[in-house]
Structure 1
Amino acid sequence: MSAQRETRTEGTHHVVVLGAGYAGMAAAVQLAARTAERRDTVRVTVVNAGERFTERMRLHMTAAGRLLDTMSVPEMLAGTGARFTRGWVTAVDAGARTVRVDDERVLSYDTLVYALGGVADTSQVPGADDYAYTLSSTEDARLLADRLKALGGEGGATDREDGERGERGDGTVVVVGTGLTGVESAAEIAERYPRLDVVLLGGEEPGAAMNDKARAHVRAALGRLGVRVRGGVRVAKVLAGSVELEGGESIAADAVLWTGGTRVAPLAAAAGLEVDERGRVVTDRALRSVSHPEVYAVGDAAAIRQGYGVMHGTCQGGMPTGVHAALSIDRVLRGKEPKPFRFGYYHTPVSLGRGDAVVQFTRPDDSPRRICLVGAVAVRYKETVTASPWPTYGRMRKMPASGAFWPRGGRFTRIRGDR
């Protein structure tokens, strides 16, 4: 059966946004706001596999069984003028400027915003794809939550009033990857399920990119929660009930969480877009594909070069790329040249359970500054700056002429429009 093709509206510029994550939603909401007075000539459509907005920064909390508010993508888009299409993107034809959804529908575009993001890379180590849990989606996190609940009960406080941990024996959870996601996940699980034995292992020490004070606080917090840390090791194989390290050592595991790296979908490469060695779309300074300038790439799906190198994927950088893509598209639609995207990192907030955190302030190239926050003040700071994105998207609806605010280079920089 042939796919159903969308009927094009003559005289209307069709912008299709693939992916409703932090970057894709920022692009869609901001562009819809900027073109609100031209809805008869500019149409924005968001395509996403599900209706639920996934808060990637909080998936470790979902995995630990904590209840979070549910945000609906259609509700977040309501009133913006942007349309929502639910379905899996199965192919992009950059030559024909079409997107195939669920192999049943074909959407045509004049401009495409590629924001499909990334997922956990379980392809590099044998057994990881078969036996390890990931935090690639809310559904993945809930699968791990069910397993942890079966191993550790309902969760709760430690067994002793003096704060020391009681005997454990309900199971072992191995978290692979000592990056920020691994650290947050190990701490969250250990705090939520104190009877579980949580092992965090990876090639580097936790907090390796932080300054001495922040790194020491991370290690102390993990120790207080009873997390066993194994740095300087690499996983050779994941089995049904264990993790095998390079060198032959085996660690028994009742559950394995894989946080060791991400990969992107092969759709961009298959479409003929120029990609880097990781499959990310290579962009110019305005976030346009260097091979197909009618395609903008944002967030984790894009290889965006700045003066300090290629940006790495975080929400901190993802939302600004979405906003800038919207600004660039709007400028082109008004007959102007898009401006270059400039971004510098500002901080690295890391939760260590519900009552502790570290915030490492950084230089624009993401190297650590001397200043950091730890403990309760870091918790308050992190909860403020990484709160639900819904208020931010709401503000974007109301500021089509003045832009949005994003931290850059140690200060807040205003991204301006210029009607």
Structure 2
Amino acid sequence: MHRIVILGAGYAGMLTAVSLVGRTRRRDDVAVTVVNATDRFTERLRLHRVATGQRLQHLGIRQLVDDLEVGWVTGIDLTQRTVRIDDEREIGYDTLVYPLGGSADTASVPGAADHAYTLDSADGAELFARRLGELSEGRVLVCGGGLTGLEAATEIAERFPQLTVTLLGRAGPGKDLGPKARDHMRSALRRLCVSVEVAEIAAVRRDGATLTGGRRIPADVILMTSGVRVSPLASTAGLTVDDHGRIVTDATLRSVSHPSVYAVGDSAAITQRYGVMHGTCQGGMPTGAHAAAQIARELNGRQPRPFRFGYYHSPISLGRGDAVVQFTHADGSPGRAALTGRAAVWYKETVSSTPWPVFRRALRLPASAMVWRP
């Protein structure tokens, strides 16, 4: 029995799992096991909506994957090829897929872990939503000028007009957008009365944030979306990682130090012609699909093939009724084309809708199926 274990059931992990289940369903010598902290699939792309009290469909992982082990992964023994879960269970593997995603970097800013909320999980987003619901008035500080911070700030401002919302980042929001998209984004921020501060945070306090230089921004509730921190699990286990703790892969997505380990999604340092990929769902799901296809090839005695990927868009919601879509070059830099307004809302909601239909189709893949097609 060839044992395939997948650590995490996010976008990349789930697509890897269901693709492998589909490709190996006629074989009785392969077992696919998923390890995840909960039995629920979390649509992280939509957690900014959960953070404002909107409810999403409950998606149970066991609807698609039979062999699910619920628990936190606490260790990997690369020599014995075992994975340890928090209740001291051990699971053996022959091939390991590592798609453990990143989280907001609350460790690098003093006080952030104690006083700031994050959107790292559905539970965290729901906790933040409950806190917002308690405020009849007040100030909300969203730390992080990236896409998550921008979507969260505009969603909060639209749903809670009685609150004052400030978006704080080291760089202005939309720095990777072209002129048309950036102008529309700025117009939306003004319409929603979202204040923008460009500065670096020195510390987070219960009542606000202190900036480098000593200036303070008062706040009644703080949301931290800046930075990405990956789990130290890979480094601790002895896998070769980069400066950010991501597993360094070869061209096929296998670990350069341990070829029995495939790394996908945010946890992988994957080099393409334009450089190392940055972690997004846009790139994460294709890595999962590719890893599944290459593992199936190896099971059939063939060599895995290289992974190739280019970015093609950057869709950003600006509340429920507005959005912007920046079409990009393969390296993620902005192209000339962009959508704004209702057309962008339709596009964004279409491409970031629940991936459940994609997962269901992957279950029906033949073993010889091609890799990811957007």
Shorter-chain TM band: over 0.9
Distance 2:167 2:51 in 1: 16
2:74 is the counterpart of 1:90: yes
Aligned partners of 1:185, 1:266: CA distance in 2, in Å?
27
Superposition map of 1:20-419 within 5 A: 20-38=9-27, 40-77=28-65, 82-152=66-136, 170-231=137-198, 233-400=199-366, 401-403=368-370, 405-407=372-374
C-alpha separation in 2, matches of 1:247 and 1:406: 48
Aligned partner of 2:265: which letter? G
C-alpha displacement at 1:203, in angstroms? 1.2
Supply the distance in 1 between the matched residues of 2:372 and 2:256 (Cα, whole angstroms): 27
Are the counterparts in 2 of residues 121 and 260 from structure 1 also a CA contact under 8 Å? yes
Superposed CA deviations along residues 85-139 of structure 1, whole A, max 9, x for unmatched, are 1111111111110000124210000000011111111111111111010011011
Per-residue CA deviations over 1:256-286 (Å, capped at 9, x if unaligned) read: 1011111111110111000111111110000
Contact 1:76/1:390, CA 8 A, preserved across alignment: no
**If you compute each CA radius of gyration, which structure gives the higher value, 1 or 2?**
1
Contact 2:71 2:87 in 1 (8 A): no
Is the Cα contact below 8 Å between 1:171 and 1:254 reproduced in 2? yes
Q: Percent identity?
A: 58
Q: Which amino acid aligns with 2:49?
A: M
**Deviation at residue 404 of structure 1 after TM alignment:** 5.1
Query: Match of 1:96, SS?
Result: coil
Gaps in structure 2 of 5+ consecutive residues: none
> Which structure would you say has the larger RCO, counting Cα contacts within 8 Å and 6 or more residues apart?
2
Q: Secondary structure at the match of 2:338?
A: strand
Q: Distance in 1 between matches of 2:363 and 2:370?
A: 10
1:375-401 per-position Cα deviation (integer Å, ceiling 9, x unaligned): 000000111111100000011112224
For each residue in 1:9-36, what CA deviation from the matched residue of structure 2 results, as whole angstroms up to 9, or x when unmatched?
A: xxx0000000000000110100111111
Give the TM-score of the pair, scaled to structure 1. Answer: 0.88
Give the secondary-structure state (helix, strand or coil) at the position aligned to 2:54: coil
Give, in angstroms, the shift of residue 182 of structure 1: 0.5
Alpha-carbon distance in 2 for matches of 1:67, 1:222: 24
- TM-score for both structures, normalised by structure 2: 0.98
Q: Is the 8 A contact 2:143 2:226 kept in 1?
A: yes
CA-CA distance at 1:84 after TM superposition: 0.8
Contact 1:396-1:404 at 8 Å conserved across structures: no
Tell me, in whole angstroms, the C-alpha distance in 2 between the residues paired with 1:224 and 1:59: 23
1:213-265 deviations in Å (ceiling 9; x for gaps): 1001111101101101112x111110011111111111111011011111111
How many angstroms does 1:187 deviate by? 0.2
Deviation at 1:328, TM superposition (A): 0.8
RMSD: 0.9
Alignment length (residue pairs): 373
The partner residue of 2:8 within 19, 33, 40 is: 19
